[in-house]
Structure 1
Amino acid sequence: MYFLERGFEWSKSLMSYEDATEELNKKQRQPGQAELQAPEGVGESVSAAVYENDSLYSYNDTYIDVRTPNDEKRGVITIFAGSIYSMMIYAFVMTSAIAVESFVSGYWAGEPVSGSDYLFLSFFPLAFLVVLWILLKYTFRFFRLESLTARRIIVRFNRITRKVYLLRPKHLGGIRIMDWDKTEVLLDKSMSEVEGTGGFIILGWDRGDGVDLQGTRTDNFEVTFVGKPTRNASELLAFWEYIRRYMEDGPAAAPAPKKLLTKFPWPWLSFKAAWGLDTRFFRHSGLWVFVVINILILPAILIHATGHWLSLLLCYEPRFPRVIEEAGL
């Protein structure tokens, strides 16, 4: 699930801040490559409309909590890796039970246990245990991308403190408190429906533009990915405008959504995430082919939905520390 965040943290380990800055300065725009016309700071408007993009967990006069793009992209690793781990554990338990029973009774398959039987009965539990250990050693870090970790990453925009709070697990950068006024948004403000197909917002900060919980200044670039992927360029620009106006102009300029996202892992929400269709496919007969395709692959969708739900159940719900919860109140 956290492939984007994991990839960025991995990229930071490949080179120092100085090397990354030098490499960035050396890069030149290729002939024919369009120049990214990013907004000049958080004060510049990029859209006449605002759109909350069904991406808010919380909304009040002090802050908004926003989701990240990859909430739906989870479950596949959990269902397959979890199944393999479970089979190895089950095989180890069953063969161990058979071996212990045979050693205690002195009989196996109706015959007295011989020296070779002791070796044979001991081999299989150990073999399954070794295979499980190898699997965990080389695949568990991928399993933790969507299980046994934080259930979600939350980006909080606090208009009173003018800070952006990043709630992330330690292995994905940890909690950061970034300056809103120093936020750089990687967004082309001039994109059109032809040039842009939507996506999600990418926010970045330079070294020293934020701190950790201990107050230590950040020593490298920081990046976060914000919001559910949008369907077109207009939605993407309007979504950033919603966040920008909330922070710059207040709640009146960015009204509360009709419905906030729930954090409770309801199973039907996992099915909805795996299904991946919205109501526009039903409103246009020309798009019904996608509905038919999804019905044909329904067994795979159900497997994905089961893995999605299990991954949620195997994760903990992250919470901001008290000092951040009370900031600006």
Structure 2
Amino acid sequence: MYFFEWGFWQVCVEAKRKKGHETNRHNHLKKIDVYESDAHDSQAAAQESVSQTPKARGPVYVFDDVALEMRCGTSEAKRGLVTILTLAVMTVVLIEFLLAGSLIVSAIEILLTKSNAVYGHDLLLAMFLGSLASAASWFYLKYGLRFTRLEMFTSRHLLIRFNHKTQQVYLHRPSYCGGIMTLPWKGVTSSGAGERYSIAGGVGVPLFLYWSARVTDTLHPVSVWVGKAGNNQAELRDEWEFIRRFMDEGPQSLPRPRITSHFPWPWQAFTPQFEGLTQYFRHASRGIKIGLLLIWPAFVIIGMGHWASLLLCWKPRWPKLIRQAGLPGKPVPPQTTLASYPAHIQERLRANAHLWAVRPGKRPEKKPKTAARKHT
């Protein structure tokens, strides 16, 4: 499910609201203070070794002398909920259209045979069902389709490709999530770079990569969640070290990861539900384990929805320029800049650039808290 990526892109390109109607998310973002020293420290930390056991937990789709390609995106385990709701709505609307059509055909047959049978109520019921189905279809196409496309009728997965030869990182996302981007390797920051930059201790979240607005040259930052959700911070450090060594040193000294197929096998829909929960299940009490056994039908239903989502999507395909990047004699893809976007998107990115402004200099030290005066 691409809800996080879609929501973040909406923040970046959100149209300016009238005075007094600013959104809560913009008000929240304005309170975040980022200093040049913070960006410098996090980028420097991302260049250091953090593990002696590099490991790619996957899914990995490509691993060779040039490229390392992995799945990215968050909330993969939640994928399927929107699909179940969408298919339910589509089924109801389709049944209404079929019933209306059946009633109309029945009325036409009565007219053609000049039978004395009454058909007026059939026509009225057909008009009612047809109107109801048409109204539901209009409402869905106007308001619901945008959410359906977060996990159906779109790219099967979000992808991230690291290119050792060109020292670039490529993101494959639908246009409504920011589109395909070419980013520089230098300047990336990672939640696997150390405890200081970890998120929730690495439990239940994938590896997080971030490029600030100054690095991207697009007036907005770029964030991406890579691979599976972690059980602990050590797993994310191992995965980050694998990526870092691939980009900085090459694939020669790295263990070859298991390559995953893009074909939507059923187990690819069920296993994400348990990502990042291995240690939790292992140390859970007997009562919790019994409870999980009792609710297993819910896991099956969500897994079936997830699989339907994969089947109703298509394999993502990179542009030829990116597929051939790093090969002998092939050009290096240009980095994505503000000019790479359409004019109306450039205008909105400029209007929202203040949200990602970085303060110059070093973050001021916190003043020591003074003891409160004692009241007599």
* Bin of the TM-score, shorter chain as denominator length: 0.7 to 0.9
> Is the contact made by 1:281 and 1:290 (CA closer than 8 Å) also made in structure 2?
no
State the one-letter code of the partner of 2:48: E
Asked if 1:328 is matched to 2:333, the reply is no
1:38-187 alignment, distance < 5 Å:
38-40=42-44, 42-68=46-72, 69-106=74-111, 112-113=117-118, 118-187=123-192
> For 1:99 and 1:194, how far apart are their aligned partners in 2?
60
- Residue 369 of structure 2 aligns with which residue? none
- Residue 208 of structure 2 aligns with which residue? 202
- Residue 312 of structure 2 aligns with which residue? 314
> Is the contact made by 2:211 and 2:221 (CA closer than 8 Å) also made in structure 1?
yes
> For 2:67 and 2:212, how far apart are their aligned partners in 1?
23
SS for the counterpart of 2:42 is coil
Deviations along 1:110-146, one digit per CA (max 9) or x if unpaired, are 9633656533432222222212321332211111110
Deviation at 1:39, TM superposition (A): 4.9
> For 2:60 and 2:256, how far apart are their aligned partners in 1?
9
Change (3 A) 1:114 1:261: closer
> Is the contact made by 2:99 and 2:126 (CA closer than 8 Å) also made in structure 1?
no
Deviations along 1:250-293, one digit per CA (max 9) or x if unpaired, are 11333212x222221112332333466977688x5755555433
> For 1:96 and 1:202, how far apart are their aligned partners in 2?
52
Deviations along 1:32-70, one digit per CA (max 9) or x if unpaired, are xxx997351542222333121233221111110011143
Change (3 A) 1:275 1:53: closer
- Residue 7 of structure 2 aligns with which residue? 7
- Residue 270 of structure 1 aligns with which residue? 269
1:220-235 alignment, distance < 5 Å:
220-235=220-235
Deviations along 1:56-93, one digit per CA (max 9) or x if unpaired, are 22111111001114333211110122112111112211
Change (3 A) 1:197 1:101: same
> For 2:103 and 2:323, how far apart are their aligned partners in 1?
54
Q: Give the aligned CA root-mean-square deviation in angstroms.
A: 3.4
> Is the contact made by 1:103 and 1:113 (CA closer than 8 Å) also made in structure 2?
no
- Select between 230-239 and 272-281 the one with higher mean Cα deviation: 272-281
SS for the counterpart of 1:157 is strand
Deviation at 1:203, TM superposition (A): 1.9
> For 1:47 and 1:241, how far apart are their aligned partners in 2?
6
> For 2:193 and 2:49, how far apart are their aligned partners in 1?
12
SS for the counterpart of 1:67 is strand
> Is the contact made by 2:107 and 2:119 (CA closer than 8 Å) also made in structure 1?
no
SS for the counterpart of 1:80 is helix
SS for the counterpart of 1:317 is coil
> Is the contact made by 1:38 and 1:187 (CA closer than 8 Å) also made in structure 2?
no
Deviations along 1:230-266, one digit per CA (max 9) or x if unpaired, are 1101111221111111111111333212x22222111
Which of the two has greater strand per residue?
A: 1
Change (3 A) 1:225 1:84: same
TM-score, scaled to structure 2 = 0.72
> For 1:21 and 1:285, how far apart are their aligned partners in 2?
40
SS for the counterpart of 2:223 is strand
- Select between 269-278 and 150-159 the one with higher mean Cα deviation: 269-278
> Is the contact made by 2:100 and 2:125 (CA closer than 8 Å) also made in structure 1?
no
> For 2:32 and 2:276, how far apart are their aligned partners in 1?
39
> For 1:275 and 1:181, how far apart are their aligned partners in 2?
33
The answer for unaligned runs of 5 or more in structure 1 is: 30-34, 211-216
State the one-letter code of the partner of 1:272: T
> For 1:25 and 1:134, how far apart are their aligned partners in 2?
34
> Is the contact made by 2:103 and 2:122 (CA closer than 8 Å) also made in structure 1?
no
Change (3 A) 1:148 1:21: closer
> For 2:98 and 2:262, how far apart are their aligned partners in 1?
36
Deviation at 1:149, TM superposition (A): 0.7
SS for the counterpart of 2:176 is helix
> For 1:274 and 1:151, how far apart are their aligned partners in 2?
17
